[in-house]
Structure 1
Amino acid sequence: MPKPPLLSSPELERSSVVANNTMNRERGLTGVNSYARELGVDLLAHLAHRPAPSWLDLCSGEGRALREAASALPAEAVLTAVDLVGPLAPRSAPPALEEIVASVSSWTPPRTYDLITCVHGLHYIGDQLGLLTRAASWLTEDGLLAAHFDPESVRHADGSPAARPALSALRAAGYSYSPRHHRLTLRGGRPVQLPFHYLGADPTAGPNYTGQPAIASYYTAS
């Protein structure tokens, strides 16, 4: 079976899979359709007792969770939402919230954060492992990274599954993974190097465990 043509990050971001208008962009902080339910973490409890708590949300959609958190956190809090298209319904942001329209594949923050989240966003990022590597260095010393990750979306150059070596490398670097919930977490900022070189992504990979179309990321060993 011939390998599908692989797209670069800019090409991928123009594809219909990444520009999926049925994607859930409205998750709040708590409740049935929420970050707390999806990530299994009391995010406000993690940020509590910090004089100036900071939270970076990657692939933030409409930014509802951060807007709700702003009212419960100190005025000194730093909340950063990064999304490829930003909120589709423009509205004024709380003083603590900065909304950035950018590709998370190339964007880099000027600071570190106590909390970094990516709720079902990695499914649409070409170099998933590269983003996870970079995000590890954006955490504070006791910071928490929590994201959904589908190891079945990681492929070798010939298209064969690379889930096992990817998970092995991530765990060796300090990440924890829950197969049942597809949750990847990392506690404590650190430099991370993973033994993979990104080749490109296939937006025709089909639905993943969420039932939504997703991409497959191709790598060679480095």
Structure 2
Amino acid sequence: MVRLVSDSELTASSVVANSTMNRERGLGGVNSYVRELGFDPAAWLREHGGAAPGWLDLCSGEGRALAEAARVLPAGAELTGVDLVGPVRPVLRIPPSGPRLRLVTAALGDWAPDRSYHLITCVHGLHYLGDQLGAIVRAASWLTPDGRFAAHFDPESVRRPDGSGAARAVVAALRAAGFEYRARRHLLLLDGGRPVRLPFEYAGADPSAGPNRTGQPAVGSYYRCTPPGGTEA
């Protein structure tokens, strides 16, 4: 029987607190957001964000991609990174007249923005969250009407309380809610902010789930299926 922990306990675990994801990942190049997402966030914002584009990066690590994007985005841009550990090195310098860059050190479940964003990303970060589906639902509500959400998501990490896999049901529910799932990249996309409801109730997390497809230690997320009508499945 797997022992499930709460998100408050999960954030103190070594798997989550010592995550090395996105510590050195920049905007472009070999180890980059462009390569991992399959599109250039800065170029996307220049095309879709107008004079004051907003980019929210969840599990942002050192914030290198945001800082590099700030050099090529309009001065009215607002770039926000949220990470449990936060930067451990000085952030790249941005000209005083450039975009606003804000790096927040917080547990994602305890934080909410005070504005909407044209682009919300989470590059290999959902693997370290307990309530992955809750984070996805919340992010969808933080998008502008024409915004984009892009995050790496491994459906195999989502399970039912009895330990059986819920991947197929979760992907079907996400697609029904308007998301696109690109299995080859393990990339979840949503174009257009909206309220989202998924038929799952979070039950807890397993920080001892072991390495995922990236080879890094990851978290197992457990959910009860709650179809319309409220009967647990």
Q: What is the TM-score with the length of structure 1 in the denominator?
A: 0.96
Against the structure 1 CA distance between its residues 62 and 17, is the aligned structure 2 distance closer, same or farther, given a 3 Å change threshold? same
Deviation at 1:92, TM superposition (A): 7.0
Q: What is the CA–CA distance in structure 2 between the aligned matches of 1:63 and 1:22, rounded to whole Å?
A: 13
Q: What is the SS of the residue equivalent to 1:136?
A: helix
Does residue 156 of structure 1 match 2:154? no
Structure 1: distance between partners of 2:172 and 2:198? 10
Aligned alpha-carbon RMSD (Å): 1.3
Gaps of 5+ in 1: none
Count of aligned pairs: 220
Give the match for residue 34 of structure 2. 36
Alignment of 1:2-81 (within 5 A): 3-49=1-47, 50-81=50-81
Query: Structure 2 CA distance, aligned partners of 1:21 and 1:130?
Result: 20
Distance 1:172 1:211, change over 3 A: same
Could you tell me how far apart the structure 1 residues matched to 2:163 and 2:76 are?
47
Name the stretch that deviates more: 63-72 or 43-52: 43-52
Aligned to 1:175: 179
Work out whether 1:191 is the aligned partner of 2:195: yes
> What is the deviation of 1:25?
1.3
Q: Distance in 2 between the 1:21 and 1:200 partners?
A: 19
- Cα pair distance change 1:130/1:206, threshold 3 Å: same
Residue type at the aligned position of 1:146: A
**Which amino acid is the alignment partner of residue 110 of structure 2?**
S
Q: More deviation in 144-153 or 103-112?
A: 103-112
**Which runs of 4 or more aligned residues in structure 1 lie more than 6 Å from their structure 2 counterparts after TM superposition?**
none
Mapped contact 2:204–2:221 kept (Cα < 8 A): yes
Higher mean alpha-carbon deviation, 204-213 vs 93-102, is at: 93-102
Inter-partner Cα distance in structure 2 for 1:80 and 1:24:
15
Per-residue deviation, residues 58-100 of structure 1 (Å, max 9, x unmatched): 0000000000000101111000010111101134763510111
1:133 deviation in Å? 0.4
Contact 2:84 2:105 in 1 (8 A): yes
Q: Which runs of 5+ in 2 are unaligned?
A: 227-233
Aligned-partner Cα distance in 1 for 2:57–2:212:
22
- C-alpha contact 2:22 2:62 (8 A) present in aligned 1: no
